[in-house]
Amino acid sequence: MAKAKYEMRRKCPICNSVFQIRSIDSVYCSKQCSDIAYKRKKDCLIHE
């Protein structure tokens, strides 16, 4: 049984699509999604 190598794929937490990552620290599939995540975080912080 061949062990699968680590696949450079990740599920985007924003749009839930599986995408191929180029670097290990990619979290979002696109800049748009990372922008959305950033805005959401900001909204959370502002929330009071």
Q: Closest CB to Zn ion among 8 and 15?
A: 15
| Among 14, 26, 34, 37, contact with Zn ion (rule: CB under 5 A) | 14
Q: Closest CB to Zn ion among 18 and 42?
A: 18
Residue 21 is a binding residue for Zn ion (CB under 5 A): no
DSSP state letters, 5-44: PPP-EEE-TTT--EEE-SSTT--SSSHHHHHHHHHHHHHH
| Among 8, 11, 15, 35, contact with Zn ion (rule: CB under 5 A) | 15
